[in-house]
Amino acid sequence: MNSPKQERILLVDNNILFLERIASELRAKNFEIITTDSGLQAFHHIRNRSCPIDWLFTRATLPGLIDGWILADEYYDRHFNRAAVIASSHARISTQGHLILKDPSPTAVRDAMRCIILQRQSHDFPISAKCQVKHAA
């Protein structure tokens, strides 16, 4: 008997303590977690078809040439019906349906990830106001 597929989440943030706290909390909820502090490395993870990413959390501003907005665009190209969660210092609306959190805590990111995953499993898209209002700063 096959067990249900474990959801794979890519977490991208250059704040290692923040990243590890989110990773730890999501692993405790039985998600498979991949972490990186590099936009370039995250870009390669998103494009890797042999180990597909199901969900994405990224910091909008990352060091280097590839930032969180580019990662969200690449993720959207592969998952047009799934929202990424993006942490930003500025409130902003996403035309692609991504959930943008203004300066979130690790707990807010964890809760937002769980919310969009549960919504997707219940086939409720786009993101409901419940996820957006609950986690907006």
The secondary element (H helix, E strand) that includes residue 39 is helix 39-47
At 44, phi and psi to the nearest 5? -65, -40
Q: How far is CA 95 from CA 13, 57, 80, 102, in A?
A: 22, 17, 12, 17
Q: Say if residue 126 is preceded by a cis peptide, omega within 30 of 0.
A: yes
Per-residue pLDDT at 86 exceeds 50: yes
For residue 91, what pLDDT is reported? 76
Q: What is the second-level CATH architecture of the domain 8-135?
A: 3-Layer(aba) Sandwich (3.40)
pLDDT digits (tens, 9 = 90+) for 9-49: 999 999 999 999 999 999 999 999 999 999 999 999 999 99
Closest CA to 34 of 61, 5, 55: 55
Instruction: Please report, rounded to a whole number, the percentage of residues in the chain having pLDDT higher than 70.
Output: 86
